Amino acid sequence: MLFKYMKSKCKPTVMFLIYLGIFCLIAYLYNMPADALLYAAGLCLFFAGVFLVYSYARFRQKQSALKDVKARIMFGPEELPPPSGAVEEEYQEIIRTLYSEMSAAATERDNAASDMLEYYTMWVHQIKTPIAAMRLLLQSEGGVSRDEMQMELFKVEQYVEMALQYMRLGSETTDFVIKKLDLDRIVRDTVKKYSTIFIKKKIALDYSGVDTVVISDEKWLGFVLEQILSNALKYTHSGKISVYMDRNLADTLVIEDTGIGIQAEDLPRVFDKGYTGYNGRKDKKSTGIGLYLCRRIMDRLGHTLSIESEVGRGTRVKLGLAYKSVRFE
C-alpha cells in the first residue's frame, strides 16, 4: 500500500523538491546566511513530512473504506467515502449513474426472463390440450375424422406461431420488410387459412374485397389479422364476421363480429400483457398475449389498433393502416 501511495504522490513530491531547490538557489545568490537557509529548508522538509504522514493515514483509511465498498458493491455504491475534491466527486457521480443504469438493465432483464418463463409455462399447458385431443381421436374406435384432426393440428400451429412471434418481437432486431402491399390479397389469404373453422362453426363471412394498397410488412400485418380473426371466431357462436374498409376513416380496415362482445370494464385493458378479462377467465383458454402482441406489432409498424364492443352484440376491431413511421426499439 505504501508503494501505491508513493506512486500517487510522485509528481507533487518532485514539484516540492524543485520549488525548494529554487528557493535555496535564490537565497544563496542573495547571500542569505547558511544557517538561516538550512533552518528554512529544514522547516519546509519537516512540515512536508508531517503532511505526508497525515496524507498517508488518510490514504490508508480511504483504501480500507473502498475495499469494504468493493465487497458490498452488489448492494449499491451509497457508502462511498467522502470525495477529497471536485474531480473525485465527479467520478463518484459517474459510478452512481452507472450503477443505477446497471440496476435498471438487470431489473428489465429479470422481468423479461420472468415474463418469458411465465408465458412459455402457460404455452406448454395450452398446447397439451390439442395434442391430447389428437391422441384421443387416434384412439377412438369410430375412426378418425380428418376435419377434426386438421382442426386440432391447426390449433397447434397457431400456438407455435404465436410463441415464435412473441420471441421475435422481444429480440433487439425485428425482420421488418416495409413495402407497398395489396391489402385484399393479405385479407383473402388470412380468411382462407381460417375457412375450415368458418365452415365447422357455421359462421358466415361478409367480405366483398377491398381495393386498397398499404405500406407495411406483409408477414407481421398478416399475423395481426390472423390473431384478430381468430379471436372473432373464438367468441362468435352464431351470426357472421364482416371485413370492410371504414367509410369515415381513411385506410382503416374493420373486422366486425356478432359474438358475445367485451365487457365495458375490460375494454381499456384488453391490450395489456396477460390480461384475459371476463371472457378469457370464463373460457379458461385465453393467454392474454394475442392482443398484446397485436398492439405492439401495430405500434412498431406505425399503424394503430382500437376496439369497440358491446356485450351481446359483438365487437368491432379497427386497424388504422395509414403509414406514419416505423418505430425501431
In this structure, of 169-183, 259-273, 304-318, the range with the lowest mean pLDDT score is 169-183
Q: From CA 234, how far away is CA 223, in angstroms rounded?
A: 16
Is the model's pTM score more than 0.75? Answer: no
Q: From CA 118, how far away is CA 125, in angstroms rounded?
A: 11
Residue keyed to cell 452512481: 96
pLDDT digits 0-9 by tens, 223-233: 899 989 988 99
Contact partners, residue 316, CB within 8 Å, separation at least 6: 254, 255, 256, 307, 308, 309
Give pLDDT, residue 328.
46
Highest mean pLDDT: which range of 36-45, 163-172, 185-194, 244-253: 185-194
pLDDT digits 0-9 by tens, 48-79: 888 888 888 877 877 777 777 676 666 666 66
Give pLDDT, residue 176.
79
Is the pLDDT higher at 189 or at 135?
Answer: 189
Whether 329 has a pLDDT exceeding 50, the answer reads no
216 φ/ψ sector (left φ>0, alpha ψ -120 to 50, else beta) = beta
Other CB atoms within 10 Å distance of the CB of residue 279 = 20
Question: Beta 252-257 vs 213-217: how paired, if at all?
Answer: unpaired
pLDDT digits 0-9 by tens, 78-130: 666 677 777 777 877 887 888 888 888 888 888 777 777 766 776 776 677 77
Highest mean pLDDT: which range of 41-45, 130-134, 171-175, 322-326: 41-45
Whether 265 has a pLDDT exceeding 70, the answer reads yes
Q: From CA 56, how far away is CA 1, in angstroms rounded?
A: 9
Whether 75 and 99 have beta carbons less than 8 Å apart is answered as no
Highest mean pLDDT: which range of 105-109, 158-162, 241-245: 241-245
Give pLDDT, residue 306.
93
Q: Using pLDDT thresholds of 50, 70 and 90, give the confidence band for residue 234.
A: confident
Give pLDDT, residue 144.
58
Cβ contacts of 11-18, under 8 Å, gap ≥ 24? 16/48
Whether 157 has a pLDDT exceeding 50, the answer reads yes
Give pLDDT, residue 277.
59
**Average pLDDT of the chain, as a whole number:** 80
Give pLDDT, residue 320.
93
Give pLDDT, residue 44.
85
pLDDT more than 90, % of the chain? 19
Q: Is the four-CA dihedral 285, 291, 296, 302 of positive or negative sign?
A: positive
pLDDT digits 0-9 by tens, 288-302: 678 888 898 898 888
Whether 213 and 252 have beta carbons less than 8 Å apart is answered as no
